Amino acid sequence: MTGRPTRRDLLARTAFGAGALGLLSVLADERRVVAADGRVLDPARLTGKAKALVVLFMGGGPSQVDTFDPKPLLTRLDGQAVPESIARGIPQVARAPHTDLLASPYRFTPRGRSGLPVSELYPHVGGVIDDICVVRSCTHASPIHAPAEYFATTGTQIGDRPSLGAWLHYGLGSTTRDLPGYIVMHSAGESGRSAAWSNGFLPARHQGTVCSAGGVPNVAPPADVSAVSRTAQLDLVRGLNRMHAANHSDTSTLDARTANLELAYRMQTAAPEAFDLSREPARVKARYGIGEKEATEFGTHCLLARRLVERGVRVVQLRHGGWDAHGDLKQNHTPQALKSDKPIAALLADLKQRGLLESTLVVWGGEFGRTPAAENPGAKSPGRNHSPSGYTVWLAGGGVRGGQVVGATDEVGYAAVEKPVSPNDLHATILHAFGIDQHDLYFQHNNRKELLTVNGGTVVRECFA
C-alpha cells in the first residue's frame, strides 16, 4: 500500500482477530534456551529445581564482617594496623599498611541446627539460617558503586549488557500471561540504576517492569473511558502497529510495545488482585513486619514478592539501599537491618510453608562489601569504605543446600582467599539452579554469541552439595 491509508484499509487491518492473537502467543511463548546441538529446550523439561528468582539487592554495600562473616582476629586487632602477613597480598592495603582495623560492634552467635554464626543485626534471618547457603568469598575488581552494581547484575562494569533478570525472562519466558514476567520494586531513597534491570541488547520486552507497593503504574484506564471505547482504541493501535511492522525489519521496540499493550489490557484485572494485601490475614502481614515503623515498606515488598511468585512471575528484584556506611557504621547498618531482617526471614519461611521455596531461588547481597579497616579512624564514630575484594552473598531455595558456608575471606575479612566467586561465577550458579548450562543461553548480537556470563563462569557446585 502506498500513500495514506483509507478508512477501508484501517477497518480491514484493525480487526482484533487471529493475527493479533497469534502474535501475542508467539511473544508470550518465546524461548531462547538452545542446546549445543541446536535443540530448543523446553523450560518445562529443564531439570533444575528453581522456577522463579527473587533478588534481594542491598544497595550501597552491606559489611560482610558485620553480618555473616565474623572475624575474631579483627576484634583482637581493633585499632591496630593490618598484619603484614595479610597486607602483602592485598594491593590496596599494601599501599596503606597503617590503616586502623575496626572491630565489629555487633555480636555473632551460632544459629540453627547448623550452628552458623549470624550477627545480631539479623536475628530473624538467623532463625532461618538452616535454609541459607552463605557464600563468603564473592569478589570483583571495582570499588565504585555504579560499575560494581553493573558487575553484580549484568556481568561487566560497563552497564550496557542485559541484566540477570532479563536473561532469565528471555530464556524461560513467564508462566503468567496477566502480569509482567520481571518485576522490580524500590524502597524509598533507593532509585537504583536502570542497567540493573535493563534488557541491554536483548529485545526490549525483556526489561524489568518497575512497580510500587501500590501496583503497576498507570494500569487503570481513565474513569471516563468505557470498555467498548477502550477495545476500539486497542484495535486501532494493533492495526497501525501491524502496518508499521510490515514495512520495517527491526521491530524489537515495536514488538515490546505491542506485547506490553496486550499485557496492560490483561493487567487491568490481574494486577490489582496481585497487589491487594487486604486479602492477606493480619497474622501474615505482622510476620513480615507490616505495621512496624522500620519494616513496613520492605515487608510489604517481600510479601508482594511471595504473591507475585505464586502467580507465575519469573523474576522479582527487590531493591533496599542505604548501606553505604562511610561514617558511623552503627548509625547506618542498624536501621538498615531493622528494615530488612524481619521481612526477609518471613519471606523465606512463608515460601517454605507454602511449598514454594524449593522452586524459588532467593539471592541476597549488594554490589560489594566493606573494609574491615576504619574509614576516618580518628572520628568519634568511624565507618567502613567500599571493598569488592571479598564480600558475602547468600542463596536459599531453588535446590540450594542451606546451613552451610562456601568460601572464605582472610583472617580480618579483606579479600577472598578460599573459593573466590566472581559475579560471572554467581550468575552461572544461578542458571545452574534453573537447570540451564550457561553456554546454552545466548543471544546473537553483533555476530557474536553473547552469554549472561560474558566469557563464562564457574558453577559453584558446593552450593548444591
Residues 164 and 316 sit within 8 Å (Cβ to Cβ):
no
Domain locations in the chain as residue ranges:
52-220+252-464
* Average pLDDT value over all residues in the chain: 86
Would you state the pLDDT for residue 266?
58
φ/ψ (deg, to 5) at 159:
90, 15
Nearest 5°: CA angle at 108, between 303 and 289?
A: 20
Would you state the pLDDT for residue 87?
82
Residue 371 pLDDT grade (very low, low, confident, very high; cuts 50, 70, 90): very high
DSSP 382: B
Alpha-carbon distances of 358 from 164, 296, 303, 350, rounded to whole Å: 20, 26, 17, 12
Q: How far apart are CA 246 and CA 387, in angstroms?
A: 52
Would you state the pLDDT for residue 268?
58
SS3 253: helix
Range with the poorest average pLDDT among 43-52, 316-325, 347-356, 447-456: 43-52
Residues 187 and 279 sit within 8 Å (Cβ to Cβ):
no
Select the more confidently predicted residue: 101 or 177.
101
Select the more confidently predicted residue: 3 or 53.
53
Residue among 252, 170, 259 nearest 204 (CA): 252
Residue among 96, 143, 60, 93 nearest 411 (CA): 93
The C-alpha R_g of the chain, in whole angstroms, comes to 24
Would you state the pLDDT for residue 61?
97
Strands 391-396, 360-365: pairing is antiparallel
**pTM of structure:** 0.85
Would you state the pLDDT for residue 82?
86
Q: How far apart are CA 400 and CA 415, in angstroms?
A: 24
Alpha-carbon distances of 434 from 33, 55, 95, 175, 314, rounded to whole Å: 11, 14, 43, 14, 11
Select the more confidently predicted residue: 388 or 217.
388
Residues 324 and 357 sit within 8 Å (Cβ to Cβ):
no
Which residues have CB under 8 Å from 32's CB, separation 6+? 40, 170, 171, 441, 442, 443
| Site of grid cell 568511624 | 382
Residue among 146, 58, 135 nearest 323 (CA): 58
Q: How far apart are CA 93 and CA 83, in angstroms?
A: 10
Work out the percent of the chain whose per-residue pLDDT is above 90.
Answer: 66
Would you state the pLDDT for residue 53?
98
Strands 108-111, 116-119: pairing is antiparallel
Q: How far apart are CA 204 and CA 417, in angstroms?
A: 40
Residue among 425, 303, 323, 319 nearest 369 (CA): 323
Q: What is the pLDDT of residues 105-159, one digit of tens each?
A: 999 999 999 999 999 999 999 999 999 999 999 999 999 999 999 999 999 999 9
Select the more confidently predicted residue: 338 or 259.
338
Residue among 305, 393, 383 nearest 343 (CA): 305
Q: What is the pLDDT of residues 416-460, one digit of tens each?
A: 999 999 999 999 999 999 999 999 999 999 999 999 999 999 999
Cα within 13 Å of Cα(356), Cβ side = 22
Distance of CA 320 to the CA centre of its chain: 11
Instruction: Output the CATH code of domain 52-220+252-464.
Output: 3.40.720
Would you state the pLDDT for residue 197?
97
φ/ψ (deg, to 5) at 40:
-80, 125
